[in-house]
Amino acid sequence: MTAATSDLAGRQYGFAIPQMFLGEQADMSLVRDVVCRAEALGFESLWGVEITLSAEAVLEPIGTLAYVAALTERARLGVSVIVSTLHNPVQLAKDLSSLDNLCGGRLIAGLGIGVMYARPGVPAEADYPAFGITKEGRISRFEESLRVMRALWSEKAPELKGRFNQLGGVQMTPKPLQAHLPVWLGGGHPNTLRRAVRMADGYMGAGGGSTADFRTQVTGLREELDAAGRDPATFPLSKRVYLHVDDDEKRAEQTLATFFKAFYGGDPELAANFAVFGSKERVAEGLAEVFDAGAGMVMLNPVAQQREQLEILAEMVGLKK
């Protein structure tokens, strides 16, 4: 273990479920192999993502997490993030409650408004017509959706009269297995940070954001937590980190550039701006910077060769002896 990698030992790590595939076919053997091995190595959580419209194969997160739940026993299961403005909140509440039961109470529900790309180069709100909705009132819709889901999860026969949904004593069972299903929000706008502190239980910094961006977001979150009188120790801060370990730095950057172009419509600059790549030493330094910026947990998200990258990363962070 080098000086750089020694700084990574004893930290909390999640691992991204292989869910995004170049081409039109998902590789389920890869999903199975990676999640089973990641749990065996000691990764504390496994994470999905939601991209509904894409020319490349992307698995839907709730069904994928149900599959992963059947393969695992210990690791917490999360999604970062579901674009909840594109979902009916009653059905989403039911789906997430069922998933929490299926995984034995290990779920973390990550939600977002949808400012990232729904398909390459196209902001999520531009795809709203495909879902039969408009972007008008999307902030109100998002907040109301979370109130609806919380009510259905916690109350026997909730009464709620909202702008978009009315609950007139309807009942939904089973409730989540967890007495309080944790909801983490994502996004970087100051209003999003305030909303996270006001309505959520934790925060996940986007993979499509730099460490410097994340540091600024952590500062904002801590200020909001202090203003709200919330204990920072009870509000987890985390970040998704896209990465690729390869001693050939140019090849590593090209691997990431190919991924970003396929799934986020980005130019090659995205890899340099947002991802961590290169030798073990350089990747370790990049991850240490994310922890230094305030992350309590880092979700490692290799974009290719996930079986091999998993073993390399586990050794780097002290999970594989």
Strands 159-161 and 166-168: antiparallel
Contacts of 156 (CB under 8 A, 6+ apart): 171
Look at residue 263 in the predicted model and tell me its pLDDT. Answer: 86
Separation between Cα atoms, residue 135 and residue 248, nearest integer Å? 43
Q: Count CA atoms within 13 Å of residue 270 on its CB side.
A: 24
* Structural domain boundaries in the chain: 3-316
Q: What is the largest CA-CA distance in the chain?
A: 61
Task: Determine the pLDDT at residue 54.
Answer: 87
Q: Which of 270, 137, 284, 254 is nearest to 206 (CA)?
A: 270
- Predicted confidence at residue 121, as pLDDT, reads 62
Per-residue confidence (pLDDT) for residue 320, from 0 to 100: 85
Task: Record the tokens describing residue 180, joined without a space.
Answer: 């309080």
Cβ contacts of residue 42 below 8 Å, gap of 6+? 314, 319
Question: What does pTM read for this prediction?
Answer: 0.95
As averages over each run of 10 residues, the pLDDT of the chain (321 residues) reads 74 98 96 98 97 92 98 97 94 98 98 69 74 89 97 97 96 98 94 97 94 97 98 98 97 94 75 92 98 98 98 96 71
The SS3 of residue 126 is helix
Supply the pLDDT for residue 119: 60
- For the chain, helix (H) and strand (E) counts, in that order, are 11, 15
Name the residue among 128, 18, 40, 119 with its Cα closest to residue 84. 128
pLDDT of residue 34: 98
For domain 3-316, the CATH class is alpha beta
Nearest in space to 45 (alpha carbons), one of 16, 20, 87: 16
In this prediction, residue 4 carries a pLDDT of: 59
DSSP state letters, 224-275? HHHHHT--GGGS-EEEEEEEEE-SSHHHHHHHHHHHHHHHH---THHHHHH-
